[in-house]
């Protein structure tokens, strides 16, 4: 079981001596093995919430629970992948994806043994010993996600991992991610600005308000799986897209 809960999480900063809210009273539940996306106006608390869940930032108030265990302020309990792949240019792709294993004390030889089959199965066969500058943006993101999976956390946070990719590559990567998720059944929390992407990937979508970010709605996608390009034209997909566009239009605000 890998259920994640945030309970009344808020985050405030001081700006010119005055409190400025980034996140306000965020309470949500991400069920075991579910794929949940967060959408909302830019700069309005989504990444702040991720940093709190990952234990990189302490909330001003509230708690994070993983399978009912308090993990507030504890790092290393969830996997976390940012939009930038953060691959080290002097290491091969194989040696990049095993960094998390090495940090946990796994010998390099054993770490490579575990990583090679994943690289070969999930689209990087033949590139194991290349360096990052030899790979396309999509392939670099594959390596970044494989590195996150190898760290073997039950919950994975993905902060706009495909935001910098072109539309065609992005759809390919979405299908690739769904394949990975189907195989591993991790609990995934995914931040995106792309409504189509949120609907296509997710079981549920959480909508944030403008800053300070509050949870406005949590919507059940209710589209059958597996999904493919035809899903984008289904009536349920188009109705959800219209509903979410209207919600976000209400939240347009200069929130930085």
Average pLDDT over residues 23-38: 94
HEC letters along 151-171? CCCCEEEEECCCCCCCHHHHH
DSSP helix/strand/coil, 250: helix
pLDDT confidence tier of residue 251, bands split at 50, 70 and 90: low
Query: What mean pLDDT is reported for the chain?
Result: 90
At 255 the pLDDT is: 41
**Segments of the chain assigned to CATH 3.40.50.300:** 1-78+155-256
Query: What is the CATH code for 1-78+155-256?
Result: 3.40.50.300
* Phi, psi torsion values for 89, nearest 5 degrees: -65, -20
Average pLDDT over residues 1-22: 85
What does pTM read for this prediction? 0.91
Q: Would you put residue 41 in left (φ > 0), alpha (ψ -120 to 50) or beta? A: beta
At 15 the pLDDT is: 78
Question: CA 174, CA 189: separation in Å to the nearest integer?
Answer: 14
Question: CA 153, CA 80: separation in Å to the nearest integer?
Answer: 9
Contact criterion met (CB below 8 Å) for 144 and 81: yes
Contact criterion met (CB below 8 Å) for 149 and 184: yes
Beta strand pairing call for 18-30 and 155-159: unpaired
At 254 the pLDDT is: 46
Longest CA–CA separation in the chain, Å:
55
Contact criterion met (CB below 8 Å) for 158 and 188: yes
pLDDT tens, position by position, 67-118: 999 999 999 899 998 878 889 999 999 999 999 999 889 999 999 999 999 9
pLDDT tens, position by position, 209-241: 988 889 999 999 999 999 999 999 999 999 999
pLDDT confidence tier of residue 1, bands split at 50, 70 and 90: low
Vertex 87: Cα angle to 81 and 89 (nearest 5): 170
pLDDT tens, position by position, 136-166: 988 999 999 999 999 889 999 999 988 888 8
Contact criterion met (CB below 8 Å) for 37 and 227: no
Q: Residue 15 pairs with which residues in a beta bridge?
A: 18
* Phi, psi torsion values for 55, nearest 5 degrees: 80, 15
**Residue written as token pair 């073997």:** 152
């Amino acid at each position: 079981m890998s259920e994640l809960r945030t309970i009344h999480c808020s985050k405030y900063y001081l700006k010119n001596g005055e409190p400025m809210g980034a996140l306000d009273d965020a309470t949500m539940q991400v069920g075991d093995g579910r794929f949940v996306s967060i959408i909302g106006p830019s700069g309005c608390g989504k990444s702040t919430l991720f940093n709190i869940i990952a234990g990189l930032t302490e909330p001003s108030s509230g708690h994070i629970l993983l399978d009912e265990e308090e993990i507030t302020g504890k790092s290393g309990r969830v996997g976390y992948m940012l939009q930038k792949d953060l691959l080290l240019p002097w290491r091969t792709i194989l040696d990049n994806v095993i960094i998390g294993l090495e940090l946990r004390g796994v010998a390099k030889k054993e770490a490579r043994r575990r990583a090679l089959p994943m690289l070969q199965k999930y689209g990087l066969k033949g590139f194991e010993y290349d360096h990052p500058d030899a790979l396309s943006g999509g392939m670099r993101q594959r390596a970044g996600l494989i590195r996150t999976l190898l760290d073997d956390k039950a919950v994975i946070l993905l902060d706009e991992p495909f935001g910098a990719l072109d539309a065609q590559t992005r759809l390919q990567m979405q299908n690739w991610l769904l394949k990975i998720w189907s195989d591993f059944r991790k609990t995934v929390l995914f931040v995106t600005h792309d409504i189509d992407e949120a609907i296509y990937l997710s079981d549920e979508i959480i909508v944030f308000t403008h800053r300070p970010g509050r949870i406005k709605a949590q919507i059940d996608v209710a589209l059958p799986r597996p999904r493919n390009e035809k899903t984008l034209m289904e009536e349920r997909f188009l109705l959800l897209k219209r509903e979410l566009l209207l919600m976000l239009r209400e939240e347009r605000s200069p929130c930085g």
